[in-house]
Amino acid sequence: MASSRAHGALPELASVLDPAGIPQQVLTSLPAIARLAAARSVGTGGRAQEPVDEALVDEALRVLYRYSLIDLDRTARYREVRVHQLIQRATRESLGAGPGTVPESLASTAAASLEAVWPEAERDDLG
């Protein structure tokens, strides 16, 4: 993800989800990708860019893992992405919404991302 704003959008989204584990499919759901794409387009001046897709999100996750900002476990069944609570808190505080608050659009995107991948009938251990 070329734009530094887009690099920040993925940790922002992860900062409001479960620190113990986030299924990668939540971060690659349509609502999440739409938010990442919108963040990436900020300040581009209309220049054409590679579209945001699952591969690009995966690449960004690998970068965050290399910088030790997340733990990425590809062998886990559902909780592939873990983020330390201090990193989540620092990320949320950098949003400027005030202590203990999260921008409504970020919370809505997180909820929509979860809803997009949540199974209709909870027949497995994800539920």
Per-residue pLDDT of 77-118, as tens digits, reads 777 999 999 999 999 888 876 667 788 899 999 999 999 998
The per-residue pLDDT for range 9-66, each reduced to its tens digit, is 999 999 999 999 999 999 999 999 999 998 888 766 656 577 889 999 999 999 999 9
pTM of the model: 0.81
Which structure tokens are listed for 64? Answer: 């965050």
108, 25 Cβ separation under 8 angstroms: no
Concatenate the DSSP letters of all residues of 3-60 into one string: SHHHHHHHHHHHTTS-TT-B-HHHHTSHHHHHHHHHHHHTT-TT---PPP-HHHHHHH
